[in-house]
């Protein structure tokens, strides 16, 4: 690549550099003729995504370029400096310009362009490519918002590509600039600070989710109708949270495994171990939340089933009582219908009815009515209809 030749030329004049996070303590002599960027190298067209760019020497900011082009030029002109470039949703031309200048691997650049990557750590020669998933808890809607951060770390540069609102890297830069002894350790110290900020951002999320779980437990046993949807939504967020934290544990252990090989400062080793402990604790808490939500969902389903059974039982009891009342009404209607039928027949006054002229006709009709009514009453009573 054209830019690779330009930076290699600077190394020839400034001394060969082995892969190390910290620059050599001995100042490299400046090149006799500072190389200029070849005309074929792509230049960034849109600088709106450059949130902050600065050059540091011995932990102190020495320049604040306004554009990527100025950053490239001043980094070549100032020996023993480190560039820290912060971008937010950069354009493809900006990423291609950075790739050409700092010899970034095309696969890493492609990942940074597309975003939506899983957390990972990959090494391309002298450059580390780290993908992190930041998170923050939103109090008003009571939900977790996730952001994505891509970090390129080289011998004398750190490039952050942010997709989303979290984390607040300006606070990270301010913290590092306020502690020059830490910033003096080089790009690896900046990577530690970014990792620490992302992991520290998980703590408010864990606290907010804990409150949500407690509220959900209360709602489940109070019979809130919308609690099932809330459990489902929070479970989905915990799946995303788990995807953000669980790979980070392995990533930090991979970094710690390279302490001896790459000569990482002992103080920085302690910081990274502390970050690894926090990540492990957070990952365990997320696992607990997922299991708790699964248990709560099971309990809620059981309670809903019990409530439905109780409602069905109440409806069945109401139907049974209604049937009993219908039986009673039907029984009395049948009893009252019998004398009505007899009285109706003998009230037709036909001339050819033999009983009309019979002397015992009236007592017979009344007795018939009584016998039928008593018989029906006895039958219904034995069947518990009355």
In terms of average pLDDT, the best of 31-35, 208-212, 307-311, 326-330 is 208-212
Query: If DSSP codes are grouped into helix, strand and coil, which group holds residue 240?
Result: helix
Place of tokens 């696969």: 107
| The two structure tokens encoding residue 170 | 């300006």
The predicted-structure confidence for 248-297, as pLDDT tens digits, reads as follows 888 888 888 777 676 777 777 888 888 889 999 999 999 999 999 888 88
Q: What pLDDT sits at residue 351?
A: 67
Tell me: the pLDDT tens digits for 118-175? 889 998 988 999 999 999 888 888 888 888 899 999 989 999 998 876 677 888 999 9
The whole-number average pLDDT for the span 46-54 is 71
Contact (CB, 8 A) for 239 and 259: no
CA distance 335 to 284: 76
| Tens digits of residue pLDDT in 315-356 | 888 888 888 788 888 888 888 887 887 777 777 766 667 766
Residue 60: the pLDDT is 93
Find the mean pLDDT for residues 94-112: 91
Q: What token pair was written down for 307?
A: 């409530």
Please give the model's pTM, rounded to 2 decimal places.
0.68
Q: Express each pLDDT in 225-250 by its tens digit.
A: 778 888 888 989 999 999 999 898 88
Q: What does pLDDT average to over the chain?
A: 80
Residue 224: CB atoms within 10 Å: 14
> Is a pLDDT exceeding 60 seen at residue 3?
no
Whole-number pLDDT of residue 48: 56
The residue ranking higher by pLDDT, 112 or 258, is 112
- CB environment 127-141: b (16+ within 10 A), e (fewer): bbbbbbbbbbbeeee
């Amino acid at each position: 690549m054209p830019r690779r030749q330009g930076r290699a030329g600077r190394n020839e004049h400034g001394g060969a550099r082995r892969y190390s996070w910290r620059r050599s303590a001995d100042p490299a002599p400046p090149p006799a003729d500072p190389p200029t960027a070849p005309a074929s190298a792509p230049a960034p067209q849109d600088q709106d995504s450059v949130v902050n760019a600065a050059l540091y020497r011995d932990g102190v900011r020495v320049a604040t370029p306004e554009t990527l082009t100025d950053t490239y030029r001043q980094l070549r002109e100032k020996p023993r400096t480190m560039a820290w470039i912060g971008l937010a949703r950069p354009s493809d031309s900006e990423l291609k310009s950075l790739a050409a200048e700092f010899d970034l691997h095309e696969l890493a650049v492609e990942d940074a362009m597309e975003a939506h990557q899983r957390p990972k750590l990959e090494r391309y020669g002298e450059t580390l490519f780290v993908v992190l998933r930041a998170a923050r808890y939103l109090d008003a809607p009571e939900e977790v918002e996730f952001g994505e951060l891509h970090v390129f770390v080289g011998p004398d540069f750190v490039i952050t590509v942010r997709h989303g609102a979290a984390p607040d890297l300006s606070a990270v830069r301010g913290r590092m600039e306020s502690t020059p002894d830490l910033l003096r350790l080089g790009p690896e110290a900046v990577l530690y600070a970014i990792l620490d900020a992302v992991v520290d951002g998980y703590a408010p999320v864990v606290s907010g989710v804990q409150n949500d779980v407690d509220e959900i437990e209360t709602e489940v046993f109070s019979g809130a109708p919308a609690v099932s949807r809330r459990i489902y939504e929070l479970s989905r967020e915990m799946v995303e949270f788990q995807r953000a934290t669980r790979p980070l544990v392995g990533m930090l252990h991979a970094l710690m495994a390279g302490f001896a090989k790459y000569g990482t400062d002992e103080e920085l080793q302690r910081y990274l171990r502390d970050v690894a402990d926090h990540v492990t604790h957070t990952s365990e808490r997320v696992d607990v939340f997922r299991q708790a939500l699964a248990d709560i969902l099971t309990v809620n389903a059981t309670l809903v089933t019990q409530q439905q059974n109780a409602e069905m039982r109440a409806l069945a009891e109401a139907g049974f009582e209604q049937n009993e009342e219908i039986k009673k009404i039907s029984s009395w209607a049948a009893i009252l219908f019998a004398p009505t039928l007899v009285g109706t027949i003998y009230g037709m006054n036909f001339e050819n009815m033999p009983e009309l002229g019979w002397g015992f006709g009236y007592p017979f009709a009344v007795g018939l009515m009584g016998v039928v009514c008593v018989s029906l009453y006895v039958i219904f009573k034995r069947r518990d209809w009355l």
